[in-house]
Amino acid sequence: AQSVSQHNHHVILSEAASLELGCNYSYGGTVNLFWYVQYPGQHLQLLLKYFSGDPLVKGIKGFEAEFIKSKFSFNLRKPSVQWSDTAEYFCAVLNDYKLSFGAGTTVTVRA
């Protein structure tokens, strides 16, 4: 079965700091990879997606993620965070047309 691991449970950082959230998956075949964000009190929103082509994917709000096939990783990055980036971040893999999610990372940005 597919599994997704997110290494950081809770990340606390200051505004303007750089952010990197780790994500590893277990499946060795072709994968579609996603990062979703859940802002406080809101529903899941798609940040970015990888399905083929350039392994460096750019998403909304200045986020990007890099797919490294040899490492089974899809880490999320943002060079300079803002207070409004405080949220839960979920990595997900699409397998058999259903999503498998990581446990999520809580990101708290201090003003």
Partner 1 sequence: GEEVAQTPKHLVRGEGQKAKLYCAPIKGHSYVFWYQQVLKNEFKFLISFQNENVFDETGMPKERFSAKCLPNSPCSLEIQATKLEDSAVYFCASSQGLAAHTDTQYFGPGTRLTVL
Q: Could you say whether residue 101 binds partner 1 (CB under 8 A)?
A: yes
Nearest to 89 by CA among 110, 56, 60: 60
Per CB under 8 A, the segment of 20-28, 30-38, 54-62, 76-84 that binds partner 1 is 30-38
Between residues 70 and 97, which has the closer beta carbon with respect to partner 1?
97
Q: What is the dihedral of CA 13, 78, 4, 93, to 10 degrees?
A: 150
Q: Distance (Å, rounded) from C-alpha 59 to C-alpha 61? A: 7
Query: Which residue, 17 or 24, has its beta carbon nearer to partner 1?
Result: 24
Q: Does residue 12 interact with partner 1 by CB under 8 A?
A: no
d(CA 5, CA 91): 8
Q: Which of 28, 29, 43, 111 binds partner 1 (CB under 8 A)?
A: 43
Least distance between partner 1 and beta carbon 70 (Å) = 21
User: What's the rounded Cα separation, in Å, for the pair 87 and 39?
Assistant: 5
Residues near partner 1 (CB under 8 A), total: 22
What residues numbered 56-85 form the site for partner 1, per CB under 8 A? Answer: none
34 contributes a contact to partner 1 by CB under 8 A: yes
Region of 72 (left: φ > 0; alpha: ψ -120 to 50; beta: rest) is left
